[in-house]
Amino acid sequence: MRAALLQITASDDPAGNLRMLLPMLQEAAEGGAELVLTPEVTNCVSASRTHQQGVLRQEGEDTTLAGLRDAASALGIWLLIGSLAVKSEPPEERFANRSFLIDPSGNIAARYDKMHMFDVQVTETETYRESAGFAPGDRAVTAPTPFGMLGLSVCYDVRFPYLYRALAQAGAQILTVPAAFSPATGPGHWEPLLRARAIETGSYVLAPAQTGEHPAQRGRARRTYGHSMAVSPWGEVLVDAGTEPGVVFVDLDPAQVQKARSQVPSLEHDRVFSGPA
Ligand SMILES: O=C(O)CNC(=O)[C@H](CS)NC(=O)CCC(=O)C(=O)O
């Protein structure tokens, strides 16, 4: 099975981002990808709540979701929209950071709301308060596909290993980690975190990422780390997209999941313990 990761530099203009994505989806499908993945906040990268309030919609009215569903069915591909920022159901006033799995008929096969909020001061000048704008989810999600079971996650989730252990123990073989990773943490943490999640679960990890300097009409411009990555169940980096936007391909073999897990069956070796108190 061939997958494609779309590495993009999304702006804060959802319509422009959709126009940029459609030819990339076409390129991915023409290159033989049966599963295509986009990064976190595919529809809008913005640091301005006022701007987001103006351009973002609930999922039923989200034009990026509608356009990408049409594209998935026109191209006959499975599409993991890493996430869309969408308005929540009232009375929740914050957005949801929601991942969607679209099937080749354009139906929504699964949704997952990012659970861990990036409330972190990464450097003296760079602070993120994701929970001010986004309401966290509270439900882990797996989804069957013809290529195996997906386990969904988003970005900062990657730092919480028990989530991935739960996904793998529930049957997930391919873990998705769409991201908009910070340039401060990316160089030291991105690759080792992804490889660790792959090794400790014996799963493929597919991590499409935002990259570069994101143009913004309102609010300050944001930068992201890039390096969309696919990791094998043995922990090898199969592809690293560097920092330029584009489409990268990776071939997956479900038998590799079985092989890694039978060589090191650590997923079955959990112990129940007391303490440390
Ligand atoms: O705010 C948005 O538009 C969408 N959300 C994001 O970009 C989020 C929260 S700011 N980014 C991360 O989770 C980066 C995590 C990270 O960089 C790390 O774990 O080191």
Q: Which domain holds residue 167?
A: 2-266
Residue range 38-44: average pLDDT? 98
Residue range 50-70: average pLDDT? 97
Q: Within a domain: residue 105?
A: yes
Which of ligand 1's atoms lies nearest the C-alpha of 159?
Answer: 19
Q: How far apart are CA 31 and CA 225, in angstroms?
A: 25
Q: Within a domain: residue 277?
A: no
Q: Looking at the chain, which runs of residues are DSSP E strands?
A: 2-7, 35-38, 78-87, 95-102, 108-113, 119-121, 127-129, 142-145, 148-152, 174-176, 204-207, 211-214, 222-225, 229-231, 237-240, 246-251
- What tens digit of pLDDT does each residue of 62-111 get? 999 999 999 999 999 999 999 999 999 999 999 999 999 999 999 999 99
> Residue 225: which pLDDT band, with cuts at 50, 70 and 90?
very high
Residue 138, number of CB atoms within 10 A of its CB: 7
Q: Within a domain: residue 167?
A: yes
Sign of CA dihedral 176, 31, 224, 18: negative
SS3 193: helix
The predicted complex's ipTM stands at 0.93
Q: How far apart are CA 116 and CA 83, in angstroms?
A: 14
Compute, in angstroms, the gap from residue 243 CA to the centroid of ligand 1. 17
Exactly one of 40, 59, 87, 130 is catalytic; name it: 40
Domain of 45, CATH number, reads: 3.60.110.10
pLDDT at 217 over 90: no
Q: Within a domain: residue 63?
A: yes
Query: For a pLDDT cut of 70, what percent of the chain falls above it?
Result: 100
pLDDT at 218 over 90: no
Give the bridge partners for 38, in sequence order: 81
Residue range 251-259: average pLDDT? 97
Q: How far apart are CA 225 and CA 19, in angstroms?
A: 23
- What tens digit of pLDDT does each residue of 145-198 get? 999 999 999 999 999 999 999 999 999 999 999 999 999 999 999 999 999 999
pLDDT of residue 219: 79
- The whole-model pTM stands at 0.97
- What tens digit of pLDDT does each residue of 107-126 get? 999 999 999 999 999 999 98
pLDDT of residue 67: 98
Q: How far apart are CA 132 and CA 128, in angstroms?
A: 9
Q: Within a domain: residue 273?
A: no
pLDDT at 206 over 90: yes
Give the bridge partners for 167, in sequence order: none
Q: What are phi and psi of 31, to 5 degrees?
A: -80, 0
Query: For a pLDDT cut of 90, what percent of the chain falls above it?
Result: 96
> Residue 216: which pLDDT band, with cuts at 50, 70 and 90?
confident
40 lines ligand 1 (CB under 6 A): yes
CA-only gyration radius of the chain, Å: 18
Q: Within a domain: residue 243?
A: yes
Q: What are phi and psi of 73, to 5 degrees?
A: -75, -35
Residue nearest to atom 19 of ligand 1 (CA): 156
Q: Within a domain: residue 242?
A: yes
Is position 44 annotated as part of the catalytic site?
no
Q: How far apart are CA 262 and CA 270, in angstroms?
A: 15
Q: Any idea of the CA torsion for 187, 153, 205, 226, to the nearest 10 degrees?
A: -30
Query: What average pLDDT does the structure give for the chain?
Result: 97
Burial of 172 (0-12, 13-18, 19+ CB in 10 A): buried
pLDDT of residue 181: 98
pLDDT of residue 82: 98
Integer CA distances (angstroms), 182 to 5, 188, 210, 213, 239, in order: 19, 11, 10, 11, 20
Q: Please tell me the total count of domains within the chain.
A: 1
Compute, in angstroms, the gap from residue 182 CA to the centroid of ligand 1. 7
pLDDT at 220 over 90: no
Is position 155 annotated as part of the catalytic site?
yes
Q: Within a domain: residue 32?
A: yes
Q: Is the peptide bond before 233 cis (omega within 30 degrees of 0)?
A: no
The Cβ-side half-sphere exposure at 215, using a 13 Å CA radius, reads 7
